[in-house]
């Protein structure tokens, strides 16, 4: 790999001049600067990251905290989509990304300690247990950060529009004639769950729709077992629902299996809706009615907000950015006569 000395020799200038040209400083001539930059490119010069960090006091590295308790990890379309878009946007602005962990040389570190050890410029928290003391410590630290699908007073947040999504889904199902509508939602402690359940109840109230308490069940996001058990309970009720909402397209598979095991047909005997808009949901037969979340825009906005906070801390607002989703009608909701 070419060095500054090699470029200086080729251009017939000093190493100091090469350094100034590559750092786009203004105290050298335009022609000299262009010549040095072109020569560096031709010789395949890349600045040494460690040397650049010493010179600029910046690592140009962003930490990613992603701890998925459900165990789906990067195989889950929503998270992988958000992270991929975040990565591409960060890289386009000259930043690398690294995942945060709490282990180093066989000893435990807090997330905050790991960020300081790696000299991260900032952190994006995509998925975590928000009640974990280590996560709370990171949120309260002075490290620039952005959260996804969680609002904290210390940093910008980017999230999908859960209010819009659930309202659109419920109004769509209601227009199809359903009046016995159940909702299997995610974990109660989740910020996303609180928004969705509150919106579900509020929209039902606006529609004059009665939702008995036994129609509201809890199951973990992304796990089919809980959704399967909740579906069994709902189907065993004296007056079972005609349509069931699920926490997400993945958990819905558990409920779908139970429905099929009971020789019920979707949507002829019972209707179902999911959330996320995964590719898998549109491969099912019948195609799933769901909300597609804009993972690309969520990831891009999270990167932009974080980098703005890193580079312009005094002029970057700590605000929440809400990204709308899209209703996919699918084929899993039957039109029925209101009863």
β-bridge pairing 107-108 and 103-104: antiparallel
First CA to last CA across the chain, in angstroms? 75
Mean pLDDT (the chain, rounded) = 90
Residues 6+ apart with CB under 8 A from 262: 235
d(CA 124, CA 85): 13
Per-residue model confidence as pLDDT tens digits over 165-208? 999 999 999 999 999 999 999 998 888 999 999 999 999 999 99
Q: Residue ranges of the alpha helices (H) in 107-179?
A: 111-117, 133-139, 162-175
Strand partners of residue 98? 63
Per-residue model confidence as pLDDT tens digits over 42-85? 888 776 655 555 555 677 899 999 987 655 666 678 889 999 99
98 lies in the same domain as 149: yes
Question: For the domain that residue 105 is a member of, what is the CATH number?
Answer: 3.40.50.2300
The residue from 275, 293, 311 where one domain ends is: 293
288 lies in the same domain as 201: yes
So what's the pLDDT on residue 24? 75
d(CA 158, CA 4): 42
Residue 274 lies in a domain: yes
Total number of domains constituting the chain: 3
CB 111 within 8 A of CB 134: yes
Domain that holds residue 78: 61-160+298-324
Helix (H) / strand (E) containing 157:
strand 157-160
Please spell the DSSP secondary structure of 190-242, one letter per residue.
-HHHHHHHHHHHHHHHHHT----GGGEEE--TT-HHHHHHHHHHHHTSSS--S
Residue 335 lies in a domain: no
For residue 26, pLDDT over 80 is answered with no
So what's the pLDDT on residue 86? 96
The mean per-residue pLDDT over the stretch 271-278 comes to: 94
């Amino acid at each position: 790999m070419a060095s500054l000395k090699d470029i200086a020799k080729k251009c017939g200038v000093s190493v100091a001049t090469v350094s100034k040209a590559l750092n786009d400083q203004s105290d050298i001539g335009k022609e000299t600067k262009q010549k040095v930059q072109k020569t560096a490119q031709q010789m395949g010069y890349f600045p040494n990251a460690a040397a650049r960090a010493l010179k600029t006091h910046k690592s140009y590295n962003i930490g990613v905290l992603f701890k998925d308790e459900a165990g789906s990890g990067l195989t889950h379309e929503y998270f992988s989509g958000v992270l991929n878009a975040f990565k591409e946007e960060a890289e386009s602005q000259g930043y690398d990304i690294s995942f945060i962990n709490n282990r180093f040389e066989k000893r435990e570190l807090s997330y905050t300690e790991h960020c300081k050890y790696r000299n991260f410029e900032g952190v994006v928290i995509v998925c975590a247990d928000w009640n974990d003391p280590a996560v709370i410590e990171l949120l309260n630290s002075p490290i620039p950060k952005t959260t996804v699908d969680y609002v904290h007073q210390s940093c910008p947040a980017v999230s999908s529009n859960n209010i819009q999504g659930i309202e659109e889904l419920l109004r769509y199902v209601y227009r199809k004639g359903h009046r016995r509508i159940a909702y299997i939602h995610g974990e109660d402690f989740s910020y996303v769950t609180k928004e969705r359940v509150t919106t579900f109840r509020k929209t039902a109230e606006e529609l004059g729709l009665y939702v008995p308490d036994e129609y509201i069940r809890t199951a973990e996001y992304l796990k089919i077992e809980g959704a399967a058990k909740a579906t069994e309970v709902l189907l065993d009720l004296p007056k079972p629902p005609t349509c069931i909402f699920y926490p997400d397209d993945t958990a819905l598979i558990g409920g779908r299996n139970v429905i099929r095991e009971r020789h019920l047909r979707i949507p002829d005997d019972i209707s179902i809706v999911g959330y996320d808009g995964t590719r898998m949901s549109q491969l099912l037969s019948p195609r799933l009615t769901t909300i597609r979340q804009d993972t690309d825009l969520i990831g891009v906005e999270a990167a932009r907000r974080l980098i703005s906070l890193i580079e312009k801390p005094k002029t970057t607002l700590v605000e929440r950015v809400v990204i709308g989703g899209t209703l996919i009608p699918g084929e899993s909701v039957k039109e029925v006569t209101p009863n």
